[in-house]
């Protein structure tokens, strides 16, 4: 009796377990595609044809279509008309006019007017292979992805739904309300809505701003943050270049690293350095590390170097300036100079030198506690020296003509100094020459106002006013202490040269004819579809067969 009860209990447990397995199979956990519904069913051997209102189930994925061929042994189905494949668990839904579904590999070949949707991201194409097991969908012969912010198109692509990543390749175009981006390889992450590109990338804003990268980029489409590699950003007023370039569109703020260039088109000034920052709306820039300024004129260029350069172009006239510090060096034509710091005032084209300033022009050296000079008609017009002004000019036989005073004003014509006016406590020492070769003696002069004239870089004459005290020393009575005024220092070794400027920094040359994808014709030859490929294969096989039949 006890043995019979154990037998009944065993049969009960077996039936219960079998029922649960059957229920699990009915719920779609089996590998076999299940027919849920069809208005009509026609069977021909192992093939079943399902007609009208067809519903099938495979492991929780619900398949709808108008009609289908079901190959039960192969566990495959060909789906026709209003095809819909829906899996509530992974929130992926696709619709199309045709699909070929393999229950063993879980690969769906979805064709013709395909709409593939996951959450708020929708992919449109005509040829899509979707692997349900890996969550990867590959499309070819062009596709379009649309979300709440962007529209992206390309010739081929891969949507990795499990990590929310889409890879676009060949003729990639990203469009949003403010920008259009073009590249040949782009990785788009649907959750943060960020894009990364490889290689050449070009962006054009609706306002006409151009953003370009030669070696890829990163773009946060929601927060409007850009990062470019070997990139440049250009608009009507400025151009910023850097090996690595960051741009915050909301703040209109740029950062650039390595081979930095910031070009102010309105001022025709370009600044180079190792690292730079630029605030577009304030027109304010900072450049560090072997910084170089090039101010472009029609006839020549002003070169200025320093460790740090700060430029400000304000609505207020008095705030339009450039600061260079420390260790400033500058060259413009025949004029060169050095100082600890320099200020360039844009409004009146005046340059101020502070901290042991020196200027050289041809054979002349000028020094003072502070110096500033004025540029007019794109050339040096006047130089103003204040406190302890001292000018030295070498003559044709290596003597040094000297003039000093409280203040001086130098006058220039075509880049050369023509006159030097001394105001207050004037002193001069002038070597008188015959035929520019023979020393006749030394003239010394003390006067409240002295005027020295120059021709071709040499002193041609000296005038004076206001009770001068003059003396002349002949050559045979000349001593060393009679050849120099107090404070004389000849510092020609510090005179900047273009060799020094180029050694400090040689700007990287710009390729004005670089490739831009916006200039490329938007024409692509489509890939052949599967039927066309099969026709090509059949034609080739037929030709090969005919060749073999011929003797």
Digit-coded pLDDT (tens) for 274-284: 999 999 888 88
* In the predicted structure, residue 405 carries a pLDDT above the cut 90: yes
- Average pLDDT over the chain reads 88
Distance CA(298)–CA(333), nearest Å, equals: 12
* In the predicted structure, residue 22 carries a pLDDT above the cut 60: no
Contacts of 199 (CB under 8 A, 6+ apart): 183, 184, 185, 214, 215, 216
What percent of the chain is modeled with pLDDT above 90? Answer: 62
Q: What is the pLDDT of residues 485-502, one digit of tens each?
A: 999 999 999 999 999 999
* In the predicted structure, residue 29 carries a pLDDT above the cut 50: no
**What mean pLDDT comes out for the span 426-454?**
89
Predicted confidence band of residue 508 (pLDDT cuts 50, 70, 90): confident
Q: What is the pLDDT of residues 168-222, one digit of tens each?
A: 999 999 999 989 999 999 999 988 889 999 999 999 999 899 999 999 999 998 8
Predicted confidence band of residue 348 (pLDDT cuts 50, 70, 90): confident
What's the half-sphere exposure (Cβ side, CA atoms, 13 Å) at 486?
Answer: 6
Helix (H, G, I), strand (E, B) or coil at 25: helix
* In the predicted structure, residue 95 carries a pLDDT above the cut 70: yes
Predicted local confidence at residue 8, as pLDDT = 43
Beta bridge partners of 304: 293, 330
Long-range CB contact pairs, 36-39, < 8 A, 24+: 36/62, 38/68
Query: Which position has the higher pLDDT, 35 or 530?
Result: 35
Predicted local confidence at residue 140, as pLDDT = 87
* In the predicted structure, residue 26 carries a pLDDT above the cut 60: no
Query: Which position has the higher pLDDT, 513 or 286?
Result: 286
* In the predicted structure, residue 10 carries a pLDDT above the cut 60: no
Say which range, 294-308, 482-496, 521-535, has the weakest mean pLDDT: 521-535
Query: Which position has the higher pLDDT, 381 or 548?
Result: 381
Predicted confidence band of residue 526 (pLDDT cuts 50, 70, 90): low
Q: Is the pTM of this model over 0.75?
A: yes
Say which range, 108-122, 465-479, 525-539, has the weakest mean pLDDT: 525-539
DSSP state of 17: H
Angle at 270 between CA 264 and CA 274, to 5 degrees: 120
Residue 413: which of 353, 334, 344 has the closest Cα? Answer: 334
Distance CA(326)–CA(331), nearest Å, equals: 16
Predicted local confidence at residue 40, as pLDDT = 95
What's the half-sphere exposure (Cβ side, CA atoms, 13 Å) at 15?
Answer: 6
Distance CA(29)–CA(9), nearest Å, equals: 28
Helix (H, G, I), strand (E, B) or coil at 167: strand
Contacts of 316 (CB under 8 A, 6+ apart): none
Predicted local confidence at residue 478, as pLDDT = 87
**What mean pLDDT comes out for the span 68-90?**
93
Helix, strand, coil % (nearest 5) of the chain? 15, 60, 30
Give the best-scoring range by mean pLDDT among 43-52, 55-64, 258-267: 55-64
Bridge-based pairing state of the strands 370-376 and 379-394:
antiparallel
The residue count for the chain:
551
DSSP state of 24: H
Predicted local confidence at residue 436, as pLDDT = 80
* In the predicted structure, residue 28 carries a pLDDT above the cut 60: no
Predicted local confidence at residue 30, as pLDDT = 59
**What mean pLDDT comes out for the span 340-361?**
93
* In the predicted structure, residue 2 carries a pLDDT above the cut 50: no
CA 449 to each of CA 371, 411, 422, 431: distance values in angstroms, whole numbers, following the listed order: 19, 16, 5, 19
Bridge-based pairing state of the strands 335-339 and 350-354:
unpaired
**What mean pLDDT comes out for the span 97-102?**
96
Would you state the structure tokens that stand for residue 10, as one six-digit string?
A: 């065993």
Q: What is the pLDDT of residues 126-172, one digit of tens each?
A: 999 999 999 999 998 899 999 988 999 999 999 999 999 999 999 99
* In the predicted structure, residue 332 carries a pLDDT above the cut 90: yes
Q: Mark out the alpha helices in 341-415 (DSSP H runs).
A: none
């Amino acid at each position: 009796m006890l043995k019979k009860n154990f037998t009944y209990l065993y049969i009960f447990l077996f039936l219960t377990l079998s029922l649960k397995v059957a229920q699990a199979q009915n719920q779609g956990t089996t590998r076999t595609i299940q027919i849920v519904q069809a208005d009509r069913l026609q069977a021909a051997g192992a093939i079943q044809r399902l007609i009208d209102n067809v519903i099938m189930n495979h492991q929780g994925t619900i398949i709808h279509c108008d009609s289908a061929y079901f190959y039960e042994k192969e566990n495959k189905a060909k789906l026709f008309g209003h095809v819909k494949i829906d899996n509530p668990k992974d929130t992926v839904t696709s619709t199309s006019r045709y699909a070929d579904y393999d229950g063993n590999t879980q690969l769906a070949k979805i064709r013709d007017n395909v709409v593939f949707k996951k959450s708020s991201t929708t992919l449109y194409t005509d040829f899509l292979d979707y692997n349900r097991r890996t969550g990867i969908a590959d499309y070819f012969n062009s596709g379009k992805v649309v979300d709440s912010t962007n529209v992206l198109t390309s010739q081929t692509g891969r949507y990795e739904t499990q990590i929310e990543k889409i890879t676009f390749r060949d003729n990639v175009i990203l469009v949003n309300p403010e920008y259009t981006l073009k590249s040949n390889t782009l990785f788009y992450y649907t959750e943060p809505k960020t894009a990364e590109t490889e290689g050449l990338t070009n962006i054009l804003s609706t306002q006409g701003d151009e953003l370009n990268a030669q070696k890829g980029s990163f773009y946060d489409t929601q927060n409007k943050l850009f990062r470019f590699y070997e990139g440049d950003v250009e608009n009507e007023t400025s151009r910023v270049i850097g090996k690595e370039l960051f741009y915050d569109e909301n703040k209109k703020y740029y950062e650039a690293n390595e081979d930095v260039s910031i070009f102010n088109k309105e001022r025709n000034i370009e600044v180079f350095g190792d690292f730079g920052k630029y605030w577009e709306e304030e027109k304010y820039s900072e450049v560090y590390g072997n910084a170089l300024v090039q101010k472009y004129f029609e006839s020549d260029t002003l070169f200025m170097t320093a460790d740090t350069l700060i430029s400000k172009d304000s609505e207020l006239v008095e705030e339009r300036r450039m600061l260079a510090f420390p260790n400033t060096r500058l060259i413009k034509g025949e004029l060169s100079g050095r100082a600890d710091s320099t200020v360039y005032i844009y409004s009146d084209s005046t340059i101020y030198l502070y901290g042991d300033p020196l200027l050289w022009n041809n054979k002349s050296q000028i020094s003072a506690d502070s110096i500033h000079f004025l540029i007019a008609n794109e050339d040096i017009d006047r130089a103003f020296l204040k406190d302890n002004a001292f000018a030295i000019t070498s003559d044709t036989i290596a003597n040094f003509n000297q003039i000093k005073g409280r203040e001086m004003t130098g006058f220039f014509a075509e880049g050369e100094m023509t006159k030097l006016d001394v105001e207050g406590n004037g002193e001069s020492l002038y070597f008188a020459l015959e035929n520019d070769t023979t020393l006749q003696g030394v003239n010394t002069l003390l006067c409240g106002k002295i005027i020295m004239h120059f021709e071709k870089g040499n002193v041609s004459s000296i005038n004076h006013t206001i009770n001068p005290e003059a003396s002349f020393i002949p050559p045979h009575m000349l001593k060393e202490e009679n050849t120099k005024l107090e404070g004389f220092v000849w510092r020609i070794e510090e005179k900047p040269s273009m060799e020094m400027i180029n050694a400090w920094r040689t700007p990287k040359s710009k390729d004005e004819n670089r490739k831009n994808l916006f200039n490329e014709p938007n024409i692509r030859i489509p890939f052949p579809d599967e039927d066309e490929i099969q026709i090509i294969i059949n034609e080739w096989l037929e030709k090969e067969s005919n060749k073999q039949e011929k003797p």
